[in-house]
Amino acid sequence: MKIGVFDSGIGGLNILNGLQQALPEHDFEYACDTEHVPYGNKSPEEIIRLTTAGVQQLAKDCEVVVIACNTATSYAIDTLRQVYPNTRFVGLEPAIKPASALTESGALAVCATPATLASANYRQLLQAHAKGLTVVEPDCSNWASLIEHGQADQIQLEGLSSELCEKGCDTVVLGCTHYHTLKPKLAKLIPGAAILEPCDAVLKQVKRFL
């Protein structure tokens, strides 16, 4: 079986690599929209249009397509399922549910794009799983662009880590696949914190389809 992975840029390669390691018997195809990356500062209508066009070839070639972008999932996955009814889509969403189960301090941080944080899907996740918790949403609006262009070292994680420690955050949700590259540095700066990304959840869902 062929499995497709789509992202606005290089962030989805983290998901692709994890799937390839776990499912070496399957073929994979990757597509990204580097012309329009990042998606996190675009309008909902533009995100839907770009994502629908970006997955067109994957939908033809692959039985399962992973939308390795929280922003694209939040706004476009329902449209994708209507436009490409013969393809099974696996989307991403910020790991609010597992984070709420892990936190001991009652405070968690969600690092995500402005579009993801503004989405109805994200607000529903908070309503369902984060009642009574302190949720910190730091400004990550330029992270994806910097990472995409090889400038991740310009992201001031030291200031972020100080802010999160001051607010008692013991759990950090990485709500954009671009941000996965920051996980090792965040782990050093916030020792003992749980840093969550969706690779395991995506793999579980893909296996269910297989």
Catalytic one of 69, 111, 140, 169: 69
Catalytic one of 62, 140, 169, 176: 176
What is the token pair recorded at 62?
């692959």
Told to judge if 32 belongs to the known catalytic residues of this protein, a careful annotator would answer no
Angle between helix axes 120-129 and 70-83 (nearest 10 degrees) is 110
Q: Are 36 and 89 in contact (CB under 8 A)?
A: no
Scanning the chain, the segments in alpha helix (DSSP H) are 12-22, 44-54, 56-61, 70-83, 96-102, 114-118, 120-129, 143-148, 157-166, 183-189, 199-209
Catalytic residues: 69, 176
